[in-house]
Structure 1
């Protein structure tokens, strides 16, 4: 497979950047994919629709991130086998991963469809936007298996060192999502319901086309009926690696849902403003997010080959490049957040609320370039339990308490509530530096 990369030999920065670039484009399209819903709804519907899509998409993102994070177990497992020159074992790993995530998909479909109203209530969805939030979550929940298959394809190929195929799948989904949103939201005025239908339909089309394209490619392993036999050891390994990451992402996602619930209690304008800011953040965090995914693939292969020096050098390069872009993103979001927010909304009050919240995220940009690269590194080293611990500490000991405390101050400021995020990131970075020193010391002894 031509797109497959071996990261255990040769130069580091060049191959890492060439791998990260398609990941970056894929994440950009993924962010655009989610932002298009809010952008078109913001331009052609009411603030209540914006709030409904904002809250509903945040709920769905938390649940789908749980699955995509669990699939990190397959990404790292495959990467290790590539580094050990045992790629032929990949067929059984992929097949058992498909079995595992198909079961999870069925469970999520039933849960989300049945509990959409409860989820909207827990999120304090504003009264004007409650029905719209329920509609968005229920429709997207019905397509949970499709959403899981869509994310699973990317995880498999990143484990093989292939960042091109995930880019193609996202591109296909993004194109059809834009077409669907324009038709259903702008054309037929279906608001939140139209945005949800377009999302599920686009991912379904992407999965079908991607499977056709993949079937015509040469994989480094056989994937036939004989591979689809339940293998307890493979399932346990995928869960062992991926479960801590999934739990961490779930709890971190819940912490952001708690913050959103706090903001929702302030009214529909604040709710819509934070929703717009979250979409902008999806773009300004693209560089560190790309390196986080790339580091997992890079480090897992070098760990499999016992080339730890290359893994550490890769981490330094990733942080250095991310930091350069972080400064640019900070300047743009902090001083020109109104222009960025104006892309997604027309209402002046919503734009002002978004910019106020966005200034706090701009500060966080200067720290996430370290944190995201660390997380990718530790995932690749199979230190996923540490990743879980630092995420939980940041979310529940810092982010939620600080945001709640700030929401009780008079007057209430979305900027002050948003400062909870950089506060938690600083604590998490400190923990990562300590873990890195402990890891180095342990490897030196060996």
Structure 2
């Protein structure tokens, strides 16, 4: 098996989907797992169990997305060094990533776990869902080091140009997780906390398998993953990864705040609306991971192109990334519009919960076309290391557009859950406009710079 790949060669129209497809499928598997978690829990614990997972998982997603963002900094740095054939630099980046992951994961897990009840209270968690949500959050935080470990290890694998192995690992873990759900929630009657326990066990296995692969199938040895500190590598990982972590966390925070707004709606049954929102959010998480996965793949390819100084190639990466991502989005729009009811029934929704969920889902489905137009240029910018720029755009779109608009139209104007749904595509539209302006400038500057350097080199050679 070819465990690494040079992404600076070949037809982009073919290279991108071949590299991105495992990214997309791995992300979709993770989201499908979230849907299965909720469906199985609702089957045994009812509407309250679904609402509990819906609220607690928003906090979990916030933390996990931050971990993914931090790891993406390592993917980009490793990709750039691998593209430049700097093998020793790759090793230093790996060891430094291990140190950073430990420094962040352990205190975060302890802090969120200890403050679980207070955090859930701030989210206006319905009383009927409080205990289940608390159990889910505490158990999930206990497994947070495994999440950081897997994200870090998969970042190394993807930085080497291999996206298939992470997919295979996620696929195996997803099957195990679903099986464990039936054991912990159904057979052992551990309730909502049992669903989290099943996920933690699967995450631990994923990290172990990823480490085993790197040690056995690549030039890396176990000692390369011991915590070590290289100042230059740490600076680059934080410089690239921290803004992405903040960007991911900010997006998650905005959806978490939407949960607060939903829980404050003046309706007859808050639990019904909370459950409908939670179920729609699970599907939404599933739908948006396709373009987000494409963006991650684009960043990895662009990083190698930048390292190899093949800047013109990045225009093709952008073009084909948009084409593929919008095509994926169109499929999910059709599913949301014509099969939304079936999806909600599969998750145990009926009556008012079913009606509220369908109305909300139809409105947010516009995001499945608009989001790709934002995250694809984000992928290009990230590959260039311009993560501070994408962070700024995302920060404004998430907290300056999505949340205020949701509050205005949902609470002040009284349109309820359905109206809140429009805030999501509106934020993506804002981000898309800003991202395209930025990416055009960055691409033009890099190509002009490369042209000047090439001209200067030719003149010097002739002299």
Q: TM-score, normalised by structure 1?
A: 0.95
- Quote the residue 2:252 is aligned against: 253
In the alignment, which of 418, 422, 426 is matched to residue 425 of structure 2?
422
Kindly report which structure 2 residues correspond to 1:325-404, keeping only aligned pairs within 5 A, or say none.
Answer: 325-404=328-407
Aligned residues: 445
Alpha-carbon distance in 2 for matches of 1:239, 1:384: 10
Alpha-carbon distance in 1 for matches of 2:226, 2:256: 39
- Quote the residue 1:123 is aligned against: 123
Give secondary structure in 2 for the equivalent of 1:308.
coil
In the alignment, which of 301, 308, 312 is matched to residue 309 of structure 1?
312
Give secondary structure in 1 for the equivalent of 2:115.
helix
Distance change >3 Å, CA 10–CA 337, structure 1 → 2:
same
- Quote the residue 1:241 is aligned against: 240
Give secondary structure in 2 for the equivalent of 1:216.
helix
| TM-superposed deviation, 1:321 | 1.6
- Quote the residue 1:263 is aligned against: 262
Query: Which runs of at least 4 in structure 1 moved beyond 6 Å after TM superposition?
Result: none
Task: Note if 1:435 corresponds to 2:445.
Answer: no
Give secondary structure in 1 for the equivalent of 2:314.
helix
Contact preservation (8 Å) 2:109, 2:141: yes
Contact preservation (8 Å) 2:98, 2:226: no
- Quote the residue 1:134 is aligned against: 134
- Quote the residue 2:157 is aligned against: 157
Contact preservation (8 Å) 1:109, 1:141: yes
Alpha-carbon distance in 2 for matches of 1:383, 1:358: 33
Contact preservation (8 Å) 1:3, 1:163: no
- Quote the residue 2:458 is aligned against: none
With 432-441 and 114-123 compared, the bigger mean Cα shift is at 432-441
Contact preservation (8 Å) 1:153, 1:166: no
Distance change >3 Å, CA 140–CA 272, structure 1 → 2:
same
Give secondary structure in 2 for the equivalent of 1:45.
helix
Give secondary structure in 2 for the equivalent of 1:408.
helix
Alpha-carbon distance in 2 for matches of 1:428, 1:168: 33
| TM-superposed deviation, 1:68 | 1.2
Task: Note if 1:299 corresponds to 2:298.
Answer: no
Cα deviation digits, residues 266-297 of structure 1 (max 9, x gap): 31111111111111112222431221111011
Alpha-carbon distance in 1 for matches of 2:412, 2:330: 30
Q: Unmatched 5+ residue regions in structure 1?
A: none
| TM-superposed deviation, 1:144 | 1.4
| TM-superposed deviation, 1:383 | 0.9
Distance change >3 Å, CA 243–CA 225, structure 1 → 2:
closer
Alpha-carbon distance in 2 for matches of 1:206, 1:77: 23
Alpha-carbon distance in 2 for matches of 1:222, 1:215: 5
Contact preservation (8 Å) 2:311, 2:443: no
| TM-superposed deviation, 1:229 | 3.2
In the alignment, which of 304, 324, 327 is matched to residue 327 of structure 2?
324
Alpha-carbon distance in 1 for matches of 2:213, 2:441: 44
Contact preservation (8 Å) 1:126, 1:265: no
Contact preservation (8 Å) 1:402, 1:420: yes
Q: Unmatched 5+ residue regions in structure 2?
A: 450-463
Contact preservation (8 Å) 1:48, 1:129: yes
| TM-superposed deviation, 1:120 | 0.5
Give secondary structure in 2 for the equivalent of 1:73.
helix
Distance change >3 Å, CA 222–CA 176, structure 1 → 2:
closer
Alpha-carbon distance in 2 for matches of 1:408, 1:341: 25
- Quote the residue 1:285 is aligned against: 288
| TM-superposed deviation, 1:324 | 2.1
Contact preservation (8 Å) 2:157, 2:214: no
Rg larger in structure:
2
- Quote the residue 2:455 is aligned against: none
Distance change >3 Å, CA 224–CA 326, structure 1 → 2:
same
Alpha-carbon distance in 2 for matches of 1:224, 1:116: 36
With 335-344 and 48-57 compared, the bigger mean Cα shift is at 335-344
Alpha-carbon distance in 1 for matches of 2:331, 2:167: 25
Contact preservation (8 Å) 1:280, 1:341: no
Alpha-carbon distance in 2 for matches of 1:209, 1:23: 17
- Quote the residue 1:68 is aligned against: 68
Alpha-carbon distance in 1 for matches of 2:54, 2:215: 36
Kindly report which structure 2 residues correspond to 1:206-245, keeping only aligned pairs within 5 A, or say none.
Answer: 206-219=206-219, 224=223, 228-245=227-244
- Quote the residue 2:106 is aligned against: 106
- Quote the residue 2:459 is aligned against: none
Contact preservation (8 Å) 1:8, 1:305: yes
Alpha-carbon distance in 2 for matches of 1:168, 1:211: 14
| TM-superposed deviation, 1:367 | 0.7
Alpha-carbon distance in 2 for matches of 1:227, 1:57: 31
Alpha-carbon distance in 1 for matches of 2:225, 2:298: 32
- Quote the residue 2:148 is aligned against: 148
Distance change >3 Å, CA 199–CA 444, structure 1 → 2:
closer
Alpha-carbon distance in 2 for matches of 1:214, 1:351: 46
Cα deviation digits, residues 285-339 of structure 1 (max 9, x gap): 2431221111011100001111111111111011012222322221221233112
| TM-superposed deviation, 1:445 | 4.0
Alpha-carbon distance in 1 for matches of 2:181, 2:34: 11
